[in-house]
Structure 1
Amino acid sequence: MKKKVWVIEDDPDIGEVISLLLTDEGYDVSLFPNATTFKESLPNADADVMVMDVMLPDGNGIDLCHGVKTSTSLAHVPVLMMSANKGLADLNGYYHADDFIAKPFDIDEMVRKVRRLTV
């Protein structure tokens, strides 16, 4: 059975690259372009891992991550945060993400991190 990856990314080009990359690696990818559509889908969340951008047009990925990690039904889902602000990697413990990747990211590193989080 394919592992499910939810990707929250507002840049359509980056979202498409991540989706194609992970689909080619055998993952079932659901792409959310903003915080609103992501939040609307949470009641039916079936993700094995979530990849979240920090800066979103209608919200903040750090707040979304905190919400997932403090939810009794979703706290077990690993979260990979991504941002062009490399300094956020030092705050991983603060927002409870399981890992961080800086943009622009190396595609092999993205695959390795997602694979590690879905084992």
Structure 2
Amino acid sequence: MNKKVFVFDDNADILELCTIILEDAGYEIKTSSTSNNIIDQVLSYIPDIIFMDNWLPDVGGIDATRELKQHATLKNIPVIYFSANNDVKSLAEQAGADGYLSKPFDIEELENIIHKHLSV
């Protein structure tokens, strides 16, 4: 059973890059360029891990992550905050994310953080 990854980012290049990397690594991936209706989006897929960009239109990454973390069914899915912001660590903490990844990232960093959070 392949692990499922959901990536939220408003940058189409990042979504494409993540899709290529993660499909190559054997993951199933779903992407979205908006975190509007975040609960419905995530409930419709139930991923094993979520990557959340900071800068998203309308509902930003912090608010979207907080919504997920307050949801009974979804709160245990690890959320990895990712951003080109120098302050990504403190943003991740504010959001209540489980980890963070700075952009630009390399393939190995992306795979390592998934392994770290999905290894049971």
Mark the runs of 5 or more structure 1 residues left unpaired by the alignment: none
Secondary structure, counterpart of 1:10 in structure 2 = coil
Contact 2:39–2:68 at 8 Å: present in 1 too? Answer: no
Runs of at least 4 residues off by over 3 Å: 37-40
Distance 1:83 1:39 in 2: 21
RMSD: 1.5
Equivalence for 2:102: 102
Q: How far off is 1:39 after superposition?
A: 4.5
Q: 1:44-59 residue pairs with structure 2 within 5 A?
A: 44-59=44-59
TM-score, L = length of structure 2: 0.90
Identity %: 32
Structure (1 or 2) with the greater helix fraction: 1
Distance 2:18 2:9 in 1: 9
Q: How far off is 1:93 after superposition?
A: 2.9
Distance 1:40 1:30 in 2: 14
> Does residue 81 in structure 1 map to residue 81 in structure 2?
yes
Q: How far off is 1:115 after superposition?
A: 1.7
The number of aligned residues is 119
Q: Report Cα offsets for 1:82-117 as digits up to 9, x if no partner.
A: 011121313433321111111111221011001211
